[in-house]
Amino acid sequence: MPSIEKAILDPFAPMSVGDALMVAVCGMVVVFIVLAALALMIMLISKVVGSFAGVKSAAAPVSGTAPAAAPAPAPKQEDDEEIIAVITAAVAAAMGTTPDQTRLTSIIRY
């Protein structure tokens, strides 16, 4: 174990290999303990906040019948003229011109 007197008197004195390994292992243990403590605090806080918000855990018992799946909403129809105007403005800004001086000939959707 590194001596305290040696560290206080001359902090730049060379360490032996055993002392250096001991310092490295102590550092890794401290980091691991702090990470474990953070994980526990996060789990505890999520449970406390979940109890205030009324959120039930995922392990709640499932009833005998499954609820019917809601129908998927219809995809929104985008206004092509507005999209073309936005793309034209973006291309014109990238080229350093005005949208009036820019002409798009085709737009390919993927």
The count of structural domains within the chain is 1
Distance CA 91, CA 83 (A): 12
* Mean residue pLDDT across the chain: 79
- Statement: residue 89 has pLDDT above 80: yes
**How confident is the model over 82-108, as a mean pLDDT?**
86
* pTM strictly above 0.75: no
Q: What is the pLDDT of residues 9-54, one digit of tens each?
A: 667 778 889 888 998 999 999 999 999 999 999 999 999 988 887 7
Distance CA 52, CA 48 (A): 6
**Given pLDDT bands bounded at 50, 70 and 90, which one contains residue 72?**
low
> Is 106 a member of any domain?
no
> Is 75 a member of any domain?
no
> Is 34 a member of any domain?
yes
**Better pLDDT: 81 or 65:** 81
Containing structural domain, residue 40: 4-56+80-101
> Is 63 a member of any domain?
no
**Better pLDDT: 67 or 14:** 14
- Statement: residue 64 has pLDDT above 80: no
> Is 108 a member of any domain?
no
